[in-house]
Amino acid sequence: MQHLLSLSRLIDALNDRVGRAVYWLILVAVLVSAGNAVVRYAFNRSSNAWLEVQWYLFSAVFLFCAGYALLHNQHVRIDVITGHLSKRAQAWIDIVGTLLFLWPMAALIMWLSWPVFVDAFASHEVSTNAGGLIIWPARLMVPIGFFLLVAQGASELIKRVAFLRGLIADPAEKHEGPSEAEALAEAIRKGRGESA
């Protein structure tokens, strides 16, 4: 089990690094979107390529951060019933959910999206929009994103089994402290309190 927990830590580190790097693309997408709007309204010009860059960026964030969201327990969860169950029962629900729903869905999408990427790459598929971009990078994001999700599902499964065996603390409880935004807001509040 210790080898599996080591593998779990490697997967967690991978998804954490990918997620922390990729979520900065939100800022890039906002800047591109704002730039597009300014150019369109100020100069009456538009570019399909820049519009497609926006959806490439949002697609990358959505696909590559799915594993990151699962790692940090930020995925959509319906706690109406499970919130009243014991931690062990919640771990069993996570195990069953991973085996019966997460893995089959994510693995199937990853498997089916690979030939779509290969076909787009081989045929040099280009957007049908005038001035549009090549398509294969967007097609490649799908299997990569779902691979990261499948891998994180494996990590979460390992952690739930280890928890049930009493080897680790409850992995569903994340004690990460305040977010960067919350820490910054607290520092600003303290700074204002000292100057007053």
Indicate the burial class of 67 (C-beta count within 10 angstroms; 0-12, 13-18, 19 or more). buried
Q: Tokens 């390529």, residue?
A: 49
How far is the CA of 49 from the CAs of 21, 46, 120, 133, 194, in angstroms? 23, 9, 18, 6, 50
Q: Quote the pLDDT of residue 179.
A: 64
Q: Quote the pLDDT of residue 146.
A: 96
Residues forming a β-bridge with 134 = 126
Q: Tokens 């696909």, residue?
A: 63
How many CB atoms sit inside 10 A of residue 13's CB? Answer: 12
The structure tokens listed for 107 are 């693995």
Whether 8 contacts 155, CB under 8 Å? yes
Summarize pLDDT for 162-182 with one digit per residue, the tens: 888 888 887 777 656 666 666
H helices then E strands: how many in the chain?
Answer: 9, 0
Nearest Cα neighbor of 138 from 150, 155, 120, 122 is: 120
pTM of the model: 0.78
Q: Quote the pLDDT of residue 16.
A: 92
Ranges of residues in the chain whose predicted pLDDT is under 50: none
